[in-house]
Amino acid sequence: MMDAGRHPRIKLLTLSEVEEVTGYVGNFHVKVRKKARFVDEGACTSCGECATVCPVTVPDEYQIGLGTRKAIYKPFPQAVPSAYVINLADCLGMNPIACGKCAERCQKKCIDFDMRDEIIEFDVGAIIVATGMEPYDPTAMDEYGYTRFENVITSMEFERLICASGPTEGHLVRPSDHKIPKRIGFIQCVGSRMDSRGNPYCSNICCMNTVKDSLLLKEHYPDIEIYVFYIDLRAFGKGFEDLLKRSRQAGVKYIRGLPGSVVEDPETRNLIVSVENTTAGRVEQYELDMLILSVGLKPREDADRLRQILNLSKTSDGFLLEAHPKLRPVDAPTPGVFLAGCVEAPKDIKDSVTQASAAVARASTVLNSERLVVEAITAVVDKDKCTACGVCARVCPFGAIKFDKDKKAPPEVIEAMCAGCGTCAAECRFDAITSAALHR
């Protein structure tokens, strides 16, 4: 990330949101809103003095609520750009200035309460969408007791606890009594592979994530007992089977069956898990000190806005549609737009990077062409017959027809976006738009 931030030909716009994209392949015009940071990015040295005097303490999102931060903060130690930011919602007030202690303390005088959002516009030839995903929130899965039982946590929270720069400096402690647990369970497929709640698809990474976590735990605490409750163990990638074998050899117990119920012992706060062990063919009970829910991935809640801006479609699982599942996996159906990473489907780091490289290669093809080949058959508007009803623009699957309903003028077909399907011509009641998609 630091390399990207430093690279002379990469312009990094953080705290920014794409508001509008117009145009077509080779000629996109983009409008971005860069939100106010209230700190001069270039001047801030991340000394941290401002945060020491800030009176507001709130839960830290990066630590999944397990730690705290101030209203003026650095998102995480390796953040790029390496500067602090003021969260407007948390700050006591800037207009009028309610506190102002951070600005007083800052020796570089780089805190500016008068900063405002900036609209930045520019032209690009190609767009790559890599906006990622969100973890599933298992609160809805009541039988596992997440948020009801203190010692039931998600895999994301586990990552923070075991991380050396996390809220417990890498020590795995139980939320209820801060003791180190002796028996831990991992429940797989939380929010994945189910029809009733969560999502029906497999989230790709959770099996291997748990295998990795189990080895990490055995390294830290060799005597810890680990139970993994699973439906299948998906260890398909390079080196994955080996990792799974090592996990088993280290003494991690894999039990084929997902728990039906989790009950809390009110005194010890331990969790009593009932599960049908399908390989052994009997119902078993396990008393565990801590339970980790291996949550799946889902599309971001705010993904629809960007989808509409770029006129992209979703597949039935809610992730973005690729132009062809096998032959064009990183192209979006819209020419000039490409996809990379989990925005297209759940996948791990290696596959995300592979897709990113592929998307860049595809985008380079566009950028390095002198001319672009577009569809030979495109729709043509007959201005005399057109009544400016707007139906053609509405039905076009590619958003290739520009129609301004206030202007009441015939629409404009963007040839570079028209795929030649002819739906507009079929829906037009006035024979005002033709598409030679019917072979004569």
Partner 1 sequence: MAAVEAAVGENGRERIVVFACNWCSYAGADGAGVARLQQPPNARIIRTMCSGRVAEKFILRAFELGAAMVLVSGCHLADCHYISANSWTQKRVDRLWDRLEKLGIRPERLQLEWISAAEGQKFARVMQEIEEMRKTVTAEEIEHTRRVLAEEREKEAVRKKPRVKA
318 burial via Cβ count (<10 Å: 0-12, 13-18, 19+): middle
Binding mask 269-308 for partner 1 (x = CB under 8 A): ----------------------------------------
Shorter beta-carbon distance to partner 1: residue 149 or 338: 338
Give the neighbor-by-neighbor strand order of the sheet with 253-256.
Answer: 152-154, 290-295, 183-190, 225-230, 253-256
* Cβ atoms of 312 and 130 closer than 8 Å: no
31: β partners: 20, 121
260 burial via Cβ count (<10 Å: 0-12, 13-18, 19+): exposed
Out of 5, 237, 333, 390, the only residue in the binding site for partner 1 (CB under 8 A) is 333
Three-state DSSP class for 398? coil
Q: What is the distance between the alpha carbons of residues 312 and 277, in angstroms, rounded to a whole number?
A: 44
Told to check if 430 binds partner 1 by CB under 8 A, we report yes
Work out how close the CB of 415 gets to partner 1 at its nearest, in angstroms, rounded to a whole number: 16
Work out how close the CB of 327 gets to partner 1 at its nearest, in angstroms, rounded to a whole number: 12
- List the interface residues with partner 1, window 307-326 (CB under 8 A): 313, 316, 321
* Rounded to 5°, angle at Cα 15 from 66 and 209: 45
Q: What is the distance between the alpha carbons of residues 299 and 89, in angstroms, rounded to a whole number?
A: 25
Shorter beta-carbon distance to partner 1: residue 81 or 335: 335
Shorter beta-carbon distance to partner 1: residue 161 or 413: 413
Out of 175, 237, 318, 420, the only residue in the binding site for partner 1 (CB under 8 A) is 420
Work out how close the CB of 253 gets to partner 1 at its nearest, in angstroms, rounded to a whole number: 41
Work out how close the CB of 397 gets to partner 1 at its nearest, in angstroms, rounded to a whole number: 4
204: tokens are 């790709």
- List the interface residues with partner 1, window 372-411 (CB under 8 A): 377, 384-385, 395, 397-398
Q: Which stretch binds partner 1 (CB under 8 A): 28-36, 230-238, 342-350, 423-431?
A: 423-431
Q: Hey, how many other C-beta atoms are within 10 angstroms of the C-beta on 285?
A: 11
Shorter beta-carbon distance to partner 1: residue 352 or 435: 435
Size of the site for partner 1 (CB under 8 A): 24
Q: Which stretch binds partner 1 (CB under 8 A): 46-54, 277-285, 358-366, 426-434?
A: 426-434
Q: What is the distance between the alpha carbons of residues 241 and 225, in angstroms, rounded to a whole number?
A: 21
| Residue spans of alpha helices (H) in 184-266 | 206-220, 240-249
Shorter beta-carbon distance to partner 1: residue 67 or 333: 333
Applying CB under 8 A, the residues found at the interface with partner 1 are: 313, 316, 321, 333, 377, 384-385, 395, 397-398, 419-423, 425-427, 430, 435, 437-440
